[in-house]
């Protein structure tokens, strides 16, 4: 078969973490990928693109115009953001896209050569939901499309002989709407950073986080995000507020692990994801002689400290919040604040609020217990005329 050459704009796209998604749900992931491609096809055709081939989760598309290729890439990312809205972070299908203008070898319906290879390598260095383009492509689109471009400097791409200057396309993609916060306090424990410089210590940091999640899950009034959701942020620089929006939590616990010899230091900090305020921070030191015992001790200690810190933050939030549409939990928190005043008026006011909470939820065990305490305290101090 005779081979010819032509200049073409090449777009290479790939779903990030596709193997992990297939491991979580093979049938659902395959269906979601088909749906993503079905919505992408009209957009590709609209911009003059031709799908050369697909391989698993990847696509190779040829365009006669670089402007069309980059505008299509931006459209694909907007479509993905819309489809991912309301989808848990660990289930989202996010494109990485690379665009290059180069000479390609034509063999039948296929295209080959360095131009294709460079587009594929650009896709490989793109961020989740991101687009990287070569300098050759940048020269053609500069000033012609509504986007900003960040110069990433010269990049050494795998199996490409010479470094290439790369640009990142920066477009305003509407983020998925924030997940609603549950009625009770909610927390996500992010993967701890391994500060030891030893990749083998990742197992200890990950195990530490799992133990803390397990310990916090035993606190019945606390909603704790599962490990599978939080570990999608492993190795990433994250914005705690964004994590809160994406996971639907009010609090985030993050930390780090640093090893020196046979000693290890674990630091942790509790953050209010709604405003970024630091609520608590501490560190724990121990010996690696018995790793599992150390993990258990730190997890129990951290949970024991975090529980009262969260309760205090929740009480303050409820007391300072609006008084309309109070839930049983909010009424319970306001009652606790009155109860802690340790006086006759405080106990009486607390009983009134506990009563309102129990009207909304007669099986609110904590409210029943605290109300019983207030009755007993009033009786013991001789502040009640109704001893029965």
User: Average pLDDT per run of 10 along the chain, which is 388 residues long?
Assistant: 80 85 81 84 91 86 94 91 74 88 88 90 89 94 89 86 89 62 85 81 85 88 87 80 88 89 88 87 85 83 84 72 60 81 84 88 82 88 78
Residue 129: what pLDDT?
87
Residue 183: what pLDDT?
72
Indicate whether 385 belongs to any domain. Answer: no
208 and 82, same domain (yes or no): no
257 and 371, same domain (yes or no): no
Residue 189: what pLDDT?
94
Give the residue among 158, 207, 141, 217 at the shortest CA–CA distance from 186.
217
242 and 135, same domain (yes or no): no
Give the residue among 377, 380, 385 at the shortest CA–CA distance from 347.
377
pTM score over 0.75: no
Report the run of H or E that residue 297 belongs to, with start and end: helix 291-320
Residue 175: what pLDDT?
56
The first and second tokens of residue 90, run together, are: 């660990």
Whether 213 contacts 252, CB under 8 Å = no
Residue 9: what pLDDT?
94
Whether 126 contacts 98, CB under 8 Å = yes
Q: Which sign, positive or negative, has the C-alpha torsion 302, 334, 186, 370?
A: positive
What is the residue range of 352's domain? 328-380
206 and 86, same domain (yes or no): no
Q: How far apart are CA 114 and CA 61, in angstroms?
A: 15
What phi, psi does 210 have (nearest 5°)? -60, -40
Residue 3: what pLDDT?
66
Indicate whether 181 belongs to any domain. Answer: no
309 and 193, same domain (yes or no): yes
207 and 120, same domain (yes or no): no
Report the run of H or E that residue 293 belongs to, with start and end: helix 291-320
27 and 70, same domain (yes or no): yes
Give the residue among 56, 65, 57, 87 at the shortest CA–CA distance from 11.
65
24 and 136, same domain (yes or no): yes
Indicate whether 75 belongs to any domain. Answer: yes
Residue 218: what pLDDT?
87
15 and 109, same domain (yes or no): yes
234 and 302, same domain (yes or no): yes
Whether 12 contacts 119, CB under 8 Å = yes
153 and 9, same domain (yes or no): yes
CA 186 to chain centre: 14
Q: What's the total number of domains in the chain?
A: 3
Q: How far apart are CA 10 and CA 110, in angstroms?
A: 12
Whether 383 contacts 344, CB under 8 Å = yes
Domain C-terminal end among 288, 317, 346? 317
Alpha-carbon distances, residue 121 vs 107, 117, 160, 166, 203 (angstroms): 21, 6, 8, 11, 30
Residue 97: what pLDDT?
94
- Which CATH number do you get for residue 80? 3.30.70.1230
User: How wide is the angle at C-alpha 230 spanned by C-alphas 225 and 236, nearest 5°?
Assistant: 155
Q: How far apart are CA 192 and CA 234, in angstroms?
A: 8
Count of H-run helices and E-run strands, the chain: 12, 14
340 and 283, same domain (yes or no): no
């Amino acid at each position: 078969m005779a081979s010819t050459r032509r200049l073409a704009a090449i777009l290479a796209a790939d779903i990030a973490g596709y193997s992990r998604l297939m491991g979580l749900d093979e049938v659902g992931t395959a269906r979601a990928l088909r749906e993503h491609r079905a919505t992408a096809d009209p957009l590709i055709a609209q911009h003059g693109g031709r799908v050369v081939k697909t391989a698993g989760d990847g696509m190779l598309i040829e365009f006669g115009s670089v402007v069309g290729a980059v505008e299509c890439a931006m459209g694909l990312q907007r479509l993905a953001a819309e489809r991912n809205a309301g989808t848990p972070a660990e289930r989202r299908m996010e494109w990485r896209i690379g665009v290059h203008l180069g000479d390609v070898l034509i063999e039948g319906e296929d295209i080959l050569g360095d131009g294709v290879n460079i587009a594929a390598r650009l896709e490989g260095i793109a961020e989740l939901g991101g687009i990287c383009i070569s300098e050759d492509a940048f020269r053609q689109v500069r000033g012609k499309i509504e986007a900003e471009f960040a110069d990433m400097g010269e990049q050494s791409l795998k199996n490409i002989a010479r470094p290439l200057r790369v640009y990142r396309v920066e477009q305003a993609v509407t983020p998925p709407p924030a997940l609603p916060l549950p009625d009770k306090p909610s927390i996500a424990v992010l993967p701890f950073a391994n500060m030891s410089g030893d990749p083998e210590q990742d197992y200890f940091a990950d195990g530490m986080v799992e133990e803390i999640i397990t310990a916090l899950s035993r606190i019945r009034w606390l909603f704790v995000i599962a490990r599978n959701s939080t570990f999608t942020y492993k190795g990433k620089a994250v914005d705690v507020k964004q994590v809160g929006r994406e996971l639907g939590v009010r609090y985030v616990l993050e930390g780090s692990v640093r090893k020196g010899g046979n000693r290890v230091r674990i630091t942790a900090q509790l953050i209010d994801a709604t405003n970024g305020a630091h609520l608590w921070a501490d560190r724990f030191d121990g010996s690696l002689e018995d790793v599992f015992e150390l993990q258990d001790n730190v997890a129990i200690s951290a949970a024991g400290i975090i529980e009262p810190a969260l309760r205090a933050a929740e009480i303050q939030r409820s007391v300072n919040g609006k008084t309309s549409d109070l839930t049983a939990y909010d009424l319970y928190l306001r009652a606790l604040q009155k109860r802690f005043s340790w006086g006759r008026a405080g106990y009486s006011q607390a009983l009134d609020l506990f009563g309102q909470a129990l009207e909304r939820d007669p099986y609110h065990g904590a409210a029943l217990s605290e109300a019983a305490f207030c009755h007993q305290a009033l009786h013991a101090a001789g502040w009640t005329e109704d001893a029965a």
